[in-house]
Chain A
Amino acid sequence: MTGEGLAGPDTTTGDDSPFWAGAREGRLEFQHCASCGFVRWPAAGVCPECLSRDFAWRPVEPVGTVWSWVVYHRAYSAALRERVPYDVALVELDCGVRLLTRLTGFAGGDDPVGTRVVARFEELGEHGRVPVFAPAEEGTDR
């Protein structure tokens, strides 16, 4: 479902569907290696640390730190024309995963880089509910 309506090649693979299914239910889930515990993303059939093929999808603490963010003013595919301008951020989750996402709840003029954030789940066009990240309030960080 994740590539529907986009002009570019579909970079999603079937094996990441638990991530999107979890997000629709308000959970942030990734593959955990059954052998060494490494949390991996993008989804893959093999652990890049220990090369084991055994894994389980499990939720993680939905908290992290904004590494950087940008604003697209140009639509690089027809499906994005209605969306520009829109932001994209990279969040470094405490579990080690680096996740592309969008930001919410920041005031204009804020520089989100380095800000502690927590996952929310919001509708994003035809994709349904997806993870977005908002500034972590005191006490929601952990």
Chain B
Amino acid sequence: MGTGSTDVAGAVRGRSAVVAVGNTAQGTVPGIPADELAVEALRITLAEAGIDKSAVDGLITCKSYGGFGIDTEIGRLAGLNPAYSATLDYGTCNFSLHLACAVIDAGLASTVAIVYGTDQRSSGNRFGHALGRQDEASVYGFLNVAGPAAMAFRRHQHLYGTTEADLGRIAVSQRRYAEDNPLAIFREPLTLEDYLAQPYLVEPLRRSDLCMISDGGACLVVARADRARDLTETPVHVLGIAQQTGLRDRQNADQWMRGWIEQVASRIYPAAGIARDDVDALYIQDPTSVWVLQMLEMYGFVEPGGVGEAFATGQVGHGGRLPLNTNGGQLSEAYMWGFLHLCEAVRQLRGEAGGRQLEGLRTAQYCSTFGFMKAASTILGTELS
């Protein structure tokens, strides 16, 4: 498929660390424009961590719905003249974090704020558009990420006999975590029976398989290892990063199965210097539950077709051996384009997760994708040895 090979083992291990995370209110946050939500997230994050704004010498923003989130505008609003700034055209936070690590390694900045803000709920985004370049999509009504995700799940059902109840366990597990998360938008209990009783939106997917559009902002501060020790007593080290693209999009065979994600899986553990079995908590970005299913399999946490059994037997998910999306994920917490997954991973690793705190965590992995174009993963840890 032309994905090539990349030798990156250990290239960033321990060279930078997350020193602060923060977020605004989530859900419906009327009256605050997207860029100001991003700045508000920055303000909250710096204040909670006791970091002065003057320490920030790098700014990486993420374009948000409506064309907002440009670094030049965020920098102006935030009163920053950082040594380095950039805007990524897409979110999930993994790509922003990886760029921050590269920028720090290159000596362009030492303390990088990564911010995202959106007012897409209040401003009326319904994601009523096709994903990627699909000329005939609008004619046939193939709109919203629910379409490709449903296609991929139906294909998965055909190949492995996966049932709708198997898929439903993902949303049910994430909702159980969200019940303990005050930030989460959806906190009312959800049983598998509740899930199966929901009408289809795009058959075979239901409401709880798809995240709700929300407003809000989130921020992470990443610092060079030596600076990190000055800024916090509990740095969360970046142990490894890996990426792979599938930019050929529709010309990739089985495009919506996104098999090229396996390239990230093959790189991330050598890059981090740990084994997959050493991952203590797992985070998977989830615009749809199908993405969780795909990445659980492609990173090798469950056998293809075995997702239902993996949840039912306590292999993964709430109460299981491998905690998964302990904030409730985008499906239940909020749609911050993946930023809150990394915020949650950092909070869990620092022991700051309140009523849903897990015990004994040393590592966490975050996996995300930008639609059918890009995949990335990060492994974070509390220790470097």
Contact = CB atoms under 8 A, between A and B. Distances in A.
Given A2-B135, A76-B128, A98-B255, A70 B140 contact: no
A73 interface: yes
Interface string B143-164: 1101100111011001000000
A87 B203 CA distance: 9
A74 interface: yes
A83 B140 CA distance: 10
Contacts of A8: 128-130, 138, 143
* Interface band, chain B: 35 or more
Given A41-B250, A71-B200, A6 B138 contact: yes
A11 B199 contact: no
A71 B203 CA distance: 5
B141 interface: yes
Given A88-B141, A99-B136, A113 B154 contact: yes
* Interface band, chain A: 35 or more
A43 B135 CA distance: 8
B203 A70 contact: yes
Nearest to A42: B135
B202 to A, nearest CB: 5
A13 B203 CA distance: 29
A111 B135 contact: no
B143 to A, nearest CB: 4
A59 interface: no
A42 B142 CA distance: 15
B128 A2 contact: no
B151 A72 contact: no
Given A69-B154, A70-B150, A100 B143 contact: no
Given A67-B155, A68-B152, A90-B151, A77 B133 contact: no
A124 B139 CA distance: 8
B155 A42 contact: no
B201 interface: yes
Contacts of A75: 141
Given A113-B158, A114-B158, A73 B138 contact: no
- The CB with the most chain B CB atoms within 10 A, among A2, A11, A12, is that of A11
A102 interface: yes
A48 B254 CA distance: 17
Contacts of A80: 141, 143
Given A8-B129, A8-B130, A111-B158, A2 B139 contact: yes
B203 A100 contact: no
Contacts of A69: 151, 154
Nearest to B144: A76
B147 A70 contact: yes
A51 to B, nearest CB: 13
A74 B201 CA distance: 5
Contacts of B385: none
A77 B138 CA distance: 10
B137 interface: yes
A109 to B, nearest CB: 14
Contacts of A130: 136, 139-140
A69 B158 CA distance: 11
B248 interface: yes
Given A70-B151, A88-B147, A2 B138 contact: yes
Given A11-B138, A88-B140, 9 more contacts: A3-B138, A8-B130, A11-B130, A19-B135, A72-B141, A80-B143, A88-B141, A99-B136, A100-B142
11 contacts: A10-B138, A11-B135, A12-B135, A19-B136, A42-B250, A67-B254, A72-B203, A73-B199, A76-B141, A77-B141, A83-B141
